Each structure stands twice: as C-alpha cells, then as structure tokens.
Structure 1
Amino acid sequence: MAFHSRMSLLAALGAAGLMAAALPASAADNYPSRPIRLIVAYPTGGISDTVARALGERLSAQMGTSVVVENKAGAGGSIGIDAVAKAAPDGYTLGFASTSPLTLNPHVGHVNYDPQRDVAPVMSVMYSPVLIVATQSFAGKTFPDLVAQAKAKPGSVRWATSGLGTVGHVVLEQVKAKSKAELTLIPYKGAGQQMNDALGGQFEVMSTNASPALTQHMQAGRLRALAVGAPKRIESMAGVPTLAELGYPKANLTSTFGIFAPGKTPAAIINKLNAELNKALAEPEVHERLLKGGEVPTGGTPAQFAKAIHDEYVENARIVKEAGIKAD
C-alpha cells in the first residue's frame, strides 16, 4: 500500500493500541507455540545482523522456541519492513530495523506499506551514533577545519554518504544549511563501497554509523572521527565532540534500531515480547556486543518507542522538505 494516510502517526498507533487492548490477555497465554521468524532489514555480517542474532539467541532460550533469523536487505531497510508489514499479525514474524523505513524513507521516496498502520513498534533496542569521519585525503584536524576549507575553497570537500535520503545525508544537509559552506555530496549505494573508497582516500569525509570495522580503522589511524551525532559524547571516543557541541544541534542525529511487528498484532503479544526483549537486552553478553560496536543500548516500552518514532517522523518531514532531499 502506498503512503497516503492523513492520520498522524501517533493517532494511528494509539488507535491500533486501543483495538489490540480490547483483546483478552489470554491471546498471549500459549505464545509462542512454534518458531518465530526475525527478519533483519540489512545484510549479514553488519552490526544490525550481529545484534539481531544475539537477541534471537536470548529470546529462544527465554521463551523456549526457535528464533530463525532471515536477512531481507535493500532500499534502506524498506524491503525488510515491507515483509513484516505484510506478515500475519500473530507474533510469529518480527523485524529488526532502524526507524528510517518508517520515519524517513516515506518522505524521500515510495514505500509499499503504510508506516502509520502496517507496522507496530515493539521495543527500541539501540541507537547508533552517526560519525563524521575524515579520510587520509583531508589535511585538517577538526570539524571546524572542514567547514573552513569548504568555505575557502567551495566544492573542495567531498562528503560521502551511504545513499541519498539516508540519515547521513540528512546530517550533511543540516550542516550545509547552518554553516553556509559548499560541501560536495558523494552518495553511495550502501556502506560497503563507501568504506572501501574511504580507505582509499577517494573523498575527504563521510557520515556513517558506528561499527566494529569503523572502530578498527580509526584505531589503526586509517580514518579519524571529527564529530559524532549523539545525545552525548561516546565513552569510547571521549575526545570526539558531538555536532550539538560544535553548534549544529539540528545535525546531531543518530540512527535508532528496534524490533517491529505487523500492525494488528495483539497488544498482549507485543507486551509479552517487549518484556522478554528488555530482559534479553540486559544480558551482559548482548550489552557488551552493542558497546563494543559503538552502539548504545536503549530498551523501554512500546509506547515510548512509538512516541519517539512519531517525533522523528514529524522532524524528518520538515528536514526533507526544507532541504529538498530525494532518494534514488
């Protein structure tokens, strides 16, 4: 279904919650009685895949059933979320993705699901800081140096993102709007080639999510973090200022990842899943996997996650309209 809904996201989620709440709690009494499919909206091997599999292992142990992970990557997470949206709302198909397929992708391109009705937030799992990283091609030392060069020599700073209409692209546009510097956008189709070209010095700077591979390259001195989009400085990178500290509060964005269910999944099942997921996230092994990759564990209730998604959706609508961002 194309995105045409006129209802606010929060109102739609609230209505769905009231409908589901009318179902008896016994809807979850025998759940789960068969394997659960967990769709990861990104390729194998990345931090999303690693975290999703760690959560799946814990859920399997806690709930006494198999959790089968299936990767459905593409279109910035929209393909995986579309599969979740079209699945039976019985708790046996879940999705792991960032919030972008619900809060950003519908504003910059076409999606085949209604983000306001077809998907139910279960729990926020983590937020992934957005790092502004310099390559060997950038001679400056700091983020202000980057802006100064872009102003002194317009177009000389090439800024790579993993794609048009991504969070990293939004960060770039917000920096451009505030600094009035002329930065050259280099959009890739995925983070893999972006990283390869970064190591080869094919551009001066990139915006990318935290990951174990990125951390390794920075520790080896091949890449340098100039700034981070996060509510506060990252403990493992205490010397790297946030974009808000540097005077770019609107560019100070992160990527939030969580678990989703089909839109009409009963509240009793969602609440049961939420409780089990919070328990799994608190396990030291899972917690450490996130921290080692530069991610920050979150957790919380379905209502809290729904509110965060609503606020992000509204803010992204404003940003995309002002910047004129379009996807491929």
Structure 2
Amino acid sequence: MTITRRGLAALPALALPGAARGQAAWPDRPLRMIVAFPGGSTPDLAARAVAPHFQQVFGQPVVVDNRAGGGGHIGTEAIARATDGHTLGVTIGGPGSTAKILNPALGYDPATDLAPVSLLARLPFVLATHPSVPARTAGEFVAYAKANPGRISYASTGPGTLSHLVMEDLAATQGFEAVHVPYRAVGQAVLDLVAGRIQAFFAATGGVLPQVREGTVRALAVTSAERFAAIPEVPTMRESGVDAEPAVAWIGLFAPTGMPADRIARIAAETGRALAVPEQRRALETAGFVVVGSDTAEFQALLRSDIARWGGIIRRLGLRPEG
C-alpha cells in the first residue's frame, strides 16, 4: 500500500526541481521501498521519513514493503534480487554488511549484490537490563555474568546483526558466557526484556528509549564514544567500567547492484534533502536517531570499516548461523 507517515511530521509541499523534471524517464512507475524489518521498527521509521519526499520529487507513488524475518536477511536479499529498476531498500548492519562472512551459504552477498545509496541514521546501542539483574554499571554487569555463567540470556535482532556481535565480542573479551536469544524485531525483544524473560539486550537507542525513560528497563551504558544526547545521564561503556571499543548501529538506504550511478547519486541527494526537513529531523531525533543523510562515498567507507571490524570478529570467534 502507499506509504503513511505513522506519526512522523508531515513534510511541507516541495516544488519539483528542474533536474528531476529533466529526467522524467525515471521513474516511470511506482517505486518500491523494501524494509527488512517490521512496521514500527527503527528501519521502518527511517524509511517512512524519506518516502514522502521521494513521492513528491519523483512524481510516483512510493510503496513501503516490509519484509521481516531472518534477522533482516530475508528483506535484504529481496532488495539485492530486485531487477525492475524501481526498487530501493532499507536495512541495517549485519544483513547489509557482514552477512556473507557469517553465513557463506547465504543467497546474497552485500558486498557485491547491494549498491549503497545513503546512510540514513546512526543509533548508539544501550546496554539495557531487566531490573532483576543486580548491576548498576557495565562493569558490575560483567562481574555478575562471570559469577553466573550461562545465567544471562540476551536478545539480538538476529544472528550476525550488530546487537548480536557487540554482546558476543564483549563476552569474549571480558570472559563470560551468555545465552543468545535472537528476535525478529526490536519490539519483541524489548517486551521480553521488560517481562524478565531475557536479562540483557544491546538495543539500538531508538528501540528502547521509552522503556529507559519509564524505568521498566535499566540502562547501564551506551556504546558510543560520547554520551548520547537523548539520555545524557547514561554513561559510556568506558565511563561505566568496561574498556570496550565504541559501536554504533546504522540504518542505510540501498539499491540492487546495477542501478546506474547517476540515478543512485540523484536518490542520495534527495535523501539528504528529505532528512534536512526540520519537522522530520526533529521527529527522528526525538525517537533516538542521529540523523545523517550521507552521500554514497561516505556510506561506502562505513561499510568497508564494518566489514573489516565485525567480519574480523565473526572469524575470530568462529561464529556461525544459528538454528
């Protein structure tokens, strides 16, 4: 169905740029934007922040197509396999970067089958725990996990996603064991964290801010290099007693490999304009996003960095697909 704004601020009317009028041959049909996670997820919110602008400047309906499942791999593969020339997609780190390293049998390779368009947003992770865990700092969490091997169950948004890799790296470097419980979406994981069915979750800030503010989960630390403006009272991992390298989740806009470079550049430029609209920017920042809207080269550099860092961790720890 045609996109809805789902509570995000409505965009002001925009005049159709002359450049867009001059390239009327594309798009000549509705655009499809595949989101590799469910409606209401942080990738879905980011997609719906730019889709109305695309609909205006390109003069075609934009259909948001949520393809959840497999930790984002199902939807991301659908982006990679699209051949109609009118499909874009939104996914995250893991399925959009290191998926093939984790699972060589996967049906797509992000490095060769996806064309990065624009980095939409960054989101620090927050180490969130159920209040029953007797830890007030990240250092105390590590000590508790060491003293209770296998007693900590932790959530992720799927095997190989950064929420999984950050905890696996922490457990390996700090010397504790924890039980991985993958979820299809952040919302499901947060519900189980609030209920105490899992004990911990490195959640992207946008997915757990309401619960942190309500006090139904405890935020021990953020994984960014600096404190996060939306929850300035929460220290960084290093301030909280654990010397861990910063780690930040991201949400990105992709096209299938083979989309012409000039078209990708045009879409990237319009993405930046969409995210610069003050109402949209404020809405996303309130939801816990660090809004970006990068050019393609910047996004490509991030992907190379992710593949080197997290791909190295996957290999070092010998991680394999689960289930």
TM-score strictly above 0.5: yes
Compute the displacement of 1:114 (Å): 2.8
- The reply on whether 1:234 has 2:228 as its aligned counterpart is yes
CA distance in 2, matches of 1:206, 1:27: 49
Instruction: Provide the aligned length of Structure 1 versus Structure 2.
Output: 300
Q: Tell me the alpha carbon deviations over residues 158-177 of structure 1, each in whole angstroms, 9 at most, x when there is no partner.
A: 43333332212211122123
Q: Tell me the alpha carbon deviations over residues 32-51 of structure 1, each in whole angstroms, 9 at most, x when there is no partner.
A: 33221111111112222122
Other-structure match for 1:274: 268
- The reply on whether 1:152 has 2:111 as its aligned counterpart is no
Amino acid at match of 2:181: P
Other-structure match for 1:200: 195
- The reply on whether 1:84 has 2:83 as its aligned counterpart is no
After TM superposition, the runs of 4+ consecutive aligned structure 1 residues lying more than 6 A away are none
Other-structure match for 2:44: 49
1:309-324 equivalences in 2 (<5 Å)? 309-324=303-318
Find 1:70's aligned residue among 62, 65, 69. Answer: 65
Compute the displacement of 1:309 (Å): 0.6
- Range moving further from structure 2, 118-127 or 146-155: 146-155
Over 3 Å counting, the alpha-carbon distance change for 1:81 and 1:162 in structure 2 is closer
8 Å Cα contact 1:85/1:262 also seen in 2: yes
Q: Percent same amino acid among aligned pairs?
A: 31
Name which structure has the greater RCO, CA cutoff 8 Å, separation 6+: 1
Amino acid at match of 2:46: V
CA distance in 2, matches of 1:117, 1:148: 42
Find 1:172's aligned residue among 167, 171, 175. Answer: 167
Other-structure match for 2:254: 260
8 Å Cα contact 1:178/1:248 also seen in 2: no
8 Å Cα contact 1:82/1:113 also seen in 2: yes
CA distance in 1, matches of 2:84, 2:242: 44
Amino acid at match of 2:190: M
Other-structure match for 1:5: none
Aligned to 2:49, what secondary structure does the other structure show?
Answer: helix
Over 3 Å counting, the alpha-carbon distance change for 1:272 and 1:160 in structure 2 is closer
Amino acid at match of 1:66: P
Compute the displacement of 1:276 (Å): 0.6
8 Å Cα contact 2:95/2:161 also seen in 1: no
CA distance in 1, matches of 2:321, 2:237: 24
Over 3 Å counting, the alpha-carbon distance change for 1:88 and 1:155 in structure 2 is closer
Find 1:243's aligned residue among 226, 237, 253. Answer: 237
8 Å Cα contact 2:94/2:160 also seen in 1: no
Q: Tell me the alpha carbon deviations over residues 46-82 of structure 1, each in whole angstroms, 9 at most, x when there is no partner.
A: 2221221121012212332211111111122222222
- Range moving further from structure 2, 183-192 or 165-174: 183-192
Over 3 Å counting, the alpha-carbon distance change for 1:228 and 1:61 in structure 2 is same
CA distance in 2, matches of 1:244, 1:298: 25
CA distance in 1, matches of 2:36, 2:210: 24
CA distance in 1, matches of 2:158, 2:261: 35
8 Å Cα contact 2:153/2:198 also seen in 1: yes
Other-structure match for 1:220: 214
CA distance in 1, matches of 2:121, 2:204: 12
- The reply on whether 1:135 has 2:115 as its aligned counterpart is no
Compute the displacement of 1:31 (Å): 2.5
Q: Tell me the alpha carbon deviations over residues 220-251 of structure 1, each in whole angstroms, 9 at most, x when there is no partner.
A: 2111111112242110111212235444333x
Unmatched segments (≥5 aa) in structure 2:
1-20
Q: Tell me the alpha carbon deviations over residues 234-276 of structure 1, each in whole angstroms, 9 at most, x when there is no partner.
A: 10111212235444333x3222111111101111111111111
Aligned to 1:236, what secondary structure does the other structure show?
Answer: coil
8 Å Cα contact 2:130/2:218 also seen in 1: yes
Amino acid at match of 1:48: P
CA distance in 2, matches of 1:126, 1:217: 21
Unmatched segments (≥5 aa) in structure 1:
1-25
CA distance in 1, matches of 2:247, 2:84: 32
1:298-309 equivalences in 2 (<5 Å)? 298-309=292-303
CA distance in 2, matches of 1:89, 1:232: 42
CA distance in 2, matches of 1:266, 1:33: 15
Over 3 Å counting, the alpha-carbon distance change for 1:233 and 1:270 in structure 2 is same
Compute the displacement of 1:307 (Å): 1.5
Amino acid at match of 1:174: D
8 Å Cα contact 2:71/2:183 also seen in 1: no
TM-score w.r.t. the length of structure 2 is: 0.85
Over 3 Å counting, the alpha-carbon distance change for 1:28 and 1:113 in structure 2 is farther
